[in-house]
Amino acid sequence: MEARSRYLYRQTVHIEELSERGARVGEYREVREVIFLPNGERTERTAGKPVHTLVRLRLTEEDFQDIRDVQPFLFTPDRRWMYETKARGEEQMDGVDCWVLAVRPRQTFAGQRLFQGLLWVDKADYSVVRSEGVAVPQILSTRQENLFPRFTTVRVKVDGKFRFPAYTFSDDTLPFRTGPLRQRMTIRYEGYRRFSAESTVTFEEGQPEGR
């Protein structure tokens, strides 16, 4: 959504690797600030140093691409040609009367990361209230096994008119050939603030940018 590209916000990612009994084995945690530079260019900055104590779970370039683009999936007009949609009826979700749409890619090309799953669309303004699905394709070959969890993303109204991602959660067991691996993921999107020419962004030594 073009509107979201005009907002600053903070994104906190927490991924846990769990044992068969549900105990935490390791974790990955990072905080990113989506900010604007003094020249108006939009960029991302890491706030502090990421925590990384994962043991078996290895985060790949595709995982980080999914965190940026697929988990907060926005079904914008320029992307619709890439997907097939099918109506699945009507349902109330998070107190909102919605249409339910099944969405899947028409096809995928090398390097692409796309969404496959369900969307709950507000009948009143056609905004996406919730999405449930998975990033595709899963990457399987004789030398590589890169699997991705199912997730849910919930959206809320910002400034009373735009519905932006508020949080993503996932608790899934991935069936790797070396044995099942359970991971739990939470992503929070907070502090949405519209950028304008009058906004000021300061950079202080030793402090996260865009605060």
The full 3-state SS of the chain, as one line of letters, equals: CHHHHHEEEEEEEEEEEECCCCCEEEEEEEEEEEEECCCCCEEEEECCCCEECCCCCCCCHHHHHHHHHCCCCCCCCCCHHHEEEEEEEEEEECCEEEEEEEEEECCCCCCCCEEEEEEEEECCCCCEEEEEEEEECCEECCCCEECCCEEEEEEEEECCCEEEEEEEEEEEEEEECCEEEEEEEEEEEEEEEECCCCCCCCCCCCCCCCC
- How, if at all, do strands 114-122 and 96-105 pair? antiparallel
Residue 14 pLDDT more than 60? yes
- pLDDT of 152-179, one tens digit each? 999 999 988 889 999 999 999 999 999 9
Residue 64 pLDDT more than 60? yes
* Proportion of the chain above pLDDT 90, given as a percent: 67
- pLDDT of 18-39, one tens digit each? 998 999 999 999 999 987 776 6
- Domain boundaries in the chain? 2-194
Tell me how far apart the alpha carbons of residues 193 and 200 are, in angstroms, rounded to a whole number.
12
- The CATH number fitting domain 2-194, selected from 2.40.30, 1.25.10, 2.50.20, 1.10.3470: 2.50.20
In terms of Cβ atoms closer than 10 Å to its own Cβ (0-12, 13-18, 19+), residue 12 is middle
* Proportion of the chain above pLDDT 70, given as a percent: 90
The confidence band for 97, taking pLDDT boundaries of 50, 70 and 90, is: very high
Q: What is the pLDDT of residue 35?
A: 78
